[in-house]
Structure 1
């Protein structure tokens, strides 16, 4: 059974599209959704594999060619100069101005809507999850399985890692308090 996006998920995704560097608190303010809910929903979307990452978009026009040669701390960039030139050529069509980037974001926002069904893959056998997924929660991580057998098999296979993650997470939360 695929996971369907609701209004909360869509609001969070649209906020991230505006600026992927936003904190959960900033997203909360933008959307009117509580910060813990934003964090939990974001983590769920990451855990099911819908959000693969938030990537930076570089503006290579901001790099001053003279500054690379003049300052020692920019020596590392000297070796990247050819790479930057190549990337500028490769990405110039896509990001030649901010309006094309904004258009691309608008197109993505049109595709993200309430009711979109996201197919879930079993974290153990890697088969499709047809029914309601069986969920294993530990620390701030959720793993999704097609059946209790896969959930049990995963728990046994990764018992040591799971316990280690739980201990680290509990230690962190005690420090945060």
Structure 2
């Protein structure tokens, strides 16, 4: 099992980390969640039946780890907001982005902002399809969905991203004609 685990780790570590990093937008949190994925892989490897590829199986586990993390964050935020004294203070959502975004400029920030306009499912599809390079059928396996659902979710995600980027360009002062000429 040790050799198998080492092979899985070496083969898929970067893909898993990258997927989680795009999901949570925080390097340290992505590293922690990657460790959680491999803990779950260790616990469940003997149940892996080989009906899908190892990569899609591990990405499926990563997706569930990310969803669990988002649920936990939502619960923590709700507790904080319930205890917050609204009359004395004002909350401002700073929406911190990873250090890499600020260094890479406005276009990367626009892409991250556009990804944030997507649901968790839409974000998962975009990352798997366009960043991880999985096919529609591989994405369907990783998400335990039908290919039709992947296609529909991908279409909706791309619409949301396009709308967000157009809004960003409008905020930055680009005219509709300038945006169209860049295409």
Q: Using CA pairs under 8 Å that are at least 6 residues apart, name the structure with larger relative contact order, 1 or 2.
A: 1
Q: Which has the higher strand share?
A: 1
Q: Which has the higher helix share?
A: 2
Same fold flag (TM > 0.5): no
- The TM-score with structure 1 as length reference comes to 0.24
In terms of Rg, which structure is larger?
1
- The TM-score with structure 2 as length reference comes to 0.24
